[in-house]
Amino acid sequence: MVSATQPEFREQQLTSSMLALGTERLALIGKHSSLLMQAYLQGELAESQLSDRAIRKLVQANLIYQPDESRGFILRPQLADLIASMVTDENRRHINADVADKLETIRLRVKTYRDAQQRGDTTKAQFQLQLLTGLVHDLGGQFGEAIDSLWHRLNSNFGFVASLADKIRENHRAQQQIGRLLDGLNYVDFAELIALGEGDVHLRKLLVSQLQRQLNAHHSSLLEVQRRLVQLMGRYREQQARSVLLTNMASFLREHSNFQVGDYAWRSQVPELINQAQPIVPAAAISLDQHAAVEVATGLMANMPRPALNKESVPSEQAERVATVANQEVEARQQALKADVEALLLHVVDQQGKQQAGVSALQYRREKNLNWDAEVWLLQILGEYQSLPPQQRHLFSLRRDEQRAHPFNDLLLIADLELSFQPASQGQAQSLT
């Protein structure tokens, strides 16, 4: 019975001692808060205002230290970071980005929690779960503080710099911090966290649900930070261009003190930079209500030249004859093309049973030396085939030889047509001929 309660007793004793030590050191910070704040601002602790016993207590509490004998006592980095975080001093605050160390601590806490559950030690398991909850929230809060620090830098240092070089350096520094934060977020492997929280509702909710929700919010915040950086950089370049223009103009006016801006509207030769507007054509109208202007308007109307008739627009007999002849030639070519297609169909009927394959349209055109364009010839065959009556169209088999227009384009182009004749009876074939 004694051996079962001994670990719990030791753990409670350790907790009580940590509580007493932490309370004592926090009280020590509160007692000397004014001097510690002055040391933060001035860089060194005012030893004349403290006794040797007080300095010894601050050193033992790991609040101050002396780097060497030539210098006085200064604050520990942990205490300086705590003060910088509380007073939002972004220039002196340092964000701890050691994500791998926190993840390793989380793994050890999960293992200790699992071991306590297997032994049935509920108290220790609950204590380890509390520590694990604090670690997870600390991990998410670490990224949140870094992003808040970055936002503060964008709204302060990044917005108030003297030159473009300083602006570029601030931009590079902010981009580096964003890169470090993204690398830290990439360290978190949710597949591993799902495996760690498998079988336990509390661990799965803590390591997967809550942490993933926090990290997604941090990813969105970093995206907004990058957008803000690009926006501020673009605005600064515009302001820089305007300031350069004003600076050059001011230096020009200092060198030419007698310079006066002239009225460009009265100049005969206007510079191209100024002469950008299109000329204005004033609108004019006759005022018919004034009797003195009626005679002038009547004389102007009478002297206006009449529009001459365009002789080319009036068709003559010769033009009509030329148009008639051209139409007759077009109709003759259409009839000849139609007759050649009908001859092809009759040739397909004649070839019934003489060859296994059908008749190629382009090969027939080459054999007969037909002077038709290949595309026009294929389109006419398709038109004639579609115009056949249904009872005759079913006697022919039309196969398209199609090719893709391009390896990355699904458009199919007809390269050739192949016709074959398969009549249902001999009587139908005779009726077709």
Domain segments of the chain as ranges:
26-89, 95-251, 328-432
CA dist 226 to 19, 154, 175, Å? 43, 10, 8
Distance between CA atoms of 323 and 301, rounded to whole angstroms? 40
What is the pLDDT, as a whole number, of residue 8? Answer: 62
What is the pLDDT, as a whole number, of residue 10? Answer: 66
Torsion of the alpha carbons at 220, 223, 229 and 235, rounded to the nearest 10: -90
Distance between CA atoms of 26 and 324, rounded to whole angstroms? 112
What is the pLDDT, as a whole number, of residue 426? Answer: 46
What is the pLDDT, as a whole number, of residue 414? Answer: 85
Joined together, the tokens standing for residue 61 give 């509490």
What is the pLDDT, as a whole number, of residue 99? Answer: 76
Distance between CA atoms of 54 and 62, rounded to whole angstroms? 13
CA dist 139 to 151, 153, 183, 325, Å? 19, 22, 14, 92
Q: What is the CA radius of gyration of the chain?
A: 47
Which residues in the chain show pLDDT less than 50? 1-4, 314, 425-433
Distance between CA atoms of 366 and 348, rounded to whole angstroms? 16
| 25 neighbors 61 (Cβ within 8 angstroms) | yes
3-class SS at 341?
A: helix
| 200 neighbors 194 (Cβ within 8 angstroms) | no
What is the pLDDT, as a whole number, of residue 158? Answer: 65
Give ∠ CA 360-361-363 in degrees, rounded to 5.
Answer: 65
Number of Cα atoms under 13 Å in the Cβ half of residue 295: 2
In terms of DSSP bridges, do strands 409-421 and 396-406 run parallel, antiparallel, or are they unpaired?
Answer: antiparallel
In terms of DSSP bridges, do strands 409-421 and 359-360 run parallel, antiparallel, or are they unpaired?
Answer: antiparallel
Joined together, the tokens standing for residue 312 give 């080319």
First to last CA, the chain: 116
CA 153 to chain centre: 25
CA 393 to chain centre: 57
What is the pLDDT, as a whole number, of residue 89? Answer: 60
| 97 neighbors 150 (Cβ within 8 angstroms) | no
Q: Per residue in 275-325, pLDDT tens?
A: 677 777 777 777 777 777 777 888 888 888 877 655 555 456 677 777 787
What is the pLDDT, as a whole number, of residue 392? Answer: 83
Beta-bridge partners for 419: 359, 398
What is the pLDDT, as a whole number, of residue 425? Answer: 45
> What DSSP assignment string belongs to 194-205?
HHHTTT-HHHHI
What is the pLDDT, as a whole number, of residue 98? Answer: 66
Q: Which residue in this structure is represented by tokens 């009759």?
A: 346
Residue 417 neighbours by CB under 8 Å, 6+ apart: 360, 361, 362, 378, 381, 382, 398, 399, 400, 401
